[in-house]
Structure 1
Amino acid sequence: MATLRKPNGLILLFCVIVSCFFFQVWGRPATFLEDFMVTWSDSHIRQLEGGRAIQLVLDQNSGCGFASKKKYLFGRVSMKIKLVPGDSAGTVTAFYMNSDTDNIRDELDFEFLGNRTGQPYTVQTNVYAHGKGDREQRVNLWFDPAADFHTYSIMWNHGQVVFSVDDVPIRVYKNHEAKGIPFPKSQPMGVFSTLWEADDWATRGGLEKINWSKAPFYAYYKDFDIEGCPVPGPSFCATNAANWWEGASYKSLSAEQARRYSWVRMNHMIYDYCTDKSRYPVTPPECVAGI
């Protein structure tokens, strides 16, 4: 019979340090309140399934919102969301990352724009880098996002930001700092979500108003997943080239991802600020630099 040897003290210490590091970088929340907190209207956010899922409520009294307890610098965040069903015109369900700074904020946005019954749901993405935004793109989703849960994710590394729906890329923002174009890379960002009324712009530019007779409106979330470098946290994490999201396969889209991305842009994109000559007579520099 083999004998068990007592581990060396230094080995034990090394294992503890490594375990802590990987927990901080790779740890995933088991329940909503483990990594998130309510930021707006606690009475309108309800925990389900022991905190593994939540329901957001919008009525004539209030919308609601929540945010991560920590900020992160690079990584991937994702949530499964089931959007407001039926006549959701004038409602906006948002899932985004924000540095929460006043003048030079960085922000990465998913905004799901409600619709009249039978019309496609539109998802708007936007990128703020060093305080400059106004980079909207809009895509009509190719499925009913209120019928079931779908996964919405933001992958963020030193080379690019990729917005995906069920692992299909719908938006890529590349790092073109070498050409003098701002890229969000120095400010950690928190993870936020809100459900709110915005019928002055959300549906057909504000032509379709919210129908309060259909209220309350509900959106559902589950499978909260954050894999990134927490701030405060290990100072070396954000520059660690060994983080999976900095790997060679995440520096650009794979051939299959590029094919799917082209399909989305050709068949489902309905607005791109890069081609809006009324707003930008001169094409924005990041559009010229390429995705």
Structure 2
Amino acid sequence: MAAALRRALSAAVAVALLAAPSASADSWLYEKFTTDGHVRADYNAQGQQVTSLILDRQSGGAFYSRQKYLYGVFSIQMKLIHGNSAGTVTSFYLTSGDGPGHDEIDLFIRSFRRHADLPYPGGKPMSVHATLWDGSFWATRQGEVKVDWAAAPFVVSYRGYSADACTPDGEGRPLRCPTGTDRWMSRQLDAAEWGTVAWARKNYMHYNYCEDGWRFPQGFPAECSRN
């Protein structure tokens, strides 16, 4: 009887251990973000939490942070759509909103220097966004290249999100900053990091708005000649 009870308890513990990751797989996502559309949270074979955005004919997907930030370091790993992804747009960025004059920082392969005579993100708190949507009208010259819906659903996966950043208090002042802010507040890219940026541009950058004359027939934005 005692042996049978031990076997039953061992089996119950094993089941509980196997079930635990699935039960808590969405905690990282839903604790820090609000979701919209097709979003899935799961664990991969290595036991790492993965959040996926899914695009089909009915809807895309997005998640955006509950917290807003003013300054900081943000990081995430993304696995992009395999194969032909023409017309789909996925991103990871900071934005203060959608209206005219909003601030936005797209977190890819670029270091933007501040110039006194050029627009630059100011004191508007921004939230972290990740999106996947049918952007063929925007991305392929008013839909010149259509999304291949036969290949749907399209999936982009994210893991390893971290934010080491200052958050606004009340109306944006004062700031609440993590300990050791000086390690990144005035940091500049070193030679090796500039080399990584150049490598990424050469091998992975397929679009640069500073080369898109179709989008800017009256001339490129002023920063294009500076950076």
TM-score by length of 2: 0.72
Alignment match of 1:222 (pick from 159, 164, 169): 159
Q: Does 1:194 align with 2:194?
A: no
* 8 Å Cα contact 1:32/1:51 also seen in 2: no
In the alignment, structure 2 segments of 5+ residues that lack a partner are 1-26
RMSD after superposition? 3.0
Q: Does 1:97 align with 2:94?
A: yes
Q: Offset at 1:214?
A: 1.5
* 8 Å Cα contact 2:168/2:175 also seen in 1: no
Q: 2:145 maps to what in 1? A: 208
* 8 Å Cα contact 1:64/1:194 also seen in 2: yes
Alignment match of 2:192 (pick from 256, 259, 262): 256
Q: Offset at 1:285?
A: 3.4
Alpha-carbon displacement from aligned partner over 1:149-186 (angstroms, at most 9, x marks no partner): xxxxx4xxxxxxxx4xxxxxx21211112xx2121021
For residues 40 and 147 of structure 2, what CA distance do their matches in structure 1 show?
A: 23
Q: 1:48 maps to what in 2? A: 42
TM-score by length of 1: 0.57
**Counterpart amino acid of residue 144 in structure 2:** L
How has the CA–CA distance of structure 1 residues 256 and 230 changed in structure 2, closer, same or farther, with 3 Å as cutoff? same
Alpha-carbon displacement from aligned partner over 1:227-284 (angstroms, at most 9, x marks no partner): 101233771446x99432214xx2x321112233344456665554445667366664
* 8 Å Cα contact 2:167/2:175 also seen in 1: no
Q: Does 1:181 align with 2:118?
A: yes
How has the CA–CA distance of structure 1 residues 254 and 205 changed in structure 2, closer, same or farther, with 3 Å as cutoff? farther
Q: Does 1:72 align with 2:69?
A: yes
Higher strand share: 1
Larger RCO: Structure 1 or Structure 2 (Cα < 8 Å, ≥ 6 residues apart)? 1
How has the CA–CA distance of structure 1 residues 103 and 205 changed in structure 2, closer, same or farther, with 3 Å as cutoff? closer
For residues 192 and 113 of structure 2, what CA distance do their matches in structure 1 show?
A: 18
**Counterpart amino acid of residue 189 in structure 2:** L
* 8 Å Cα contact 1:80/1:221 also seen in 2: yes
Q: Percent identity?
A: 37
Q: Offset at 1:102?
A: 1.9
Q: 1:143 maps to what in 2? A: none
* 8 Å Cα contact 1:97/1:108 also seen in 2: yes
How has the CA–CA distance of structure 1 residues 54 and 175 changed in structure 2, closer, same or farther, with 3 Å as cutoff? same
Q: Which entry has the higher C-alpha Rg, 1 or 2?
A: 2
For residues 213 and 145 of structure 2, what CA distance do their matches in structure 1 show?
A: 25
* 8 Å Cα contact 1:32/1:52 also seen in 2: no
**Counterpart amino acid of residue 146 in structure 2:** K
* 8 Å Cα contact 2:40/2:52 also seen in 1: yes
How has the CA–CA distance of structure 1 residues 47 and 207 changed in structure 2, closer, same or farther, with 3 Å as cutoff? same
Tell me, what secondary structure is at the counterpart of 1:93?
A: strand
How has the CA–CA distance of structure 1 residues 263 and 201 changed in structure 2, closer, same or farther, with 3 Å as cutoff? same
Aligned pair count reads: 194
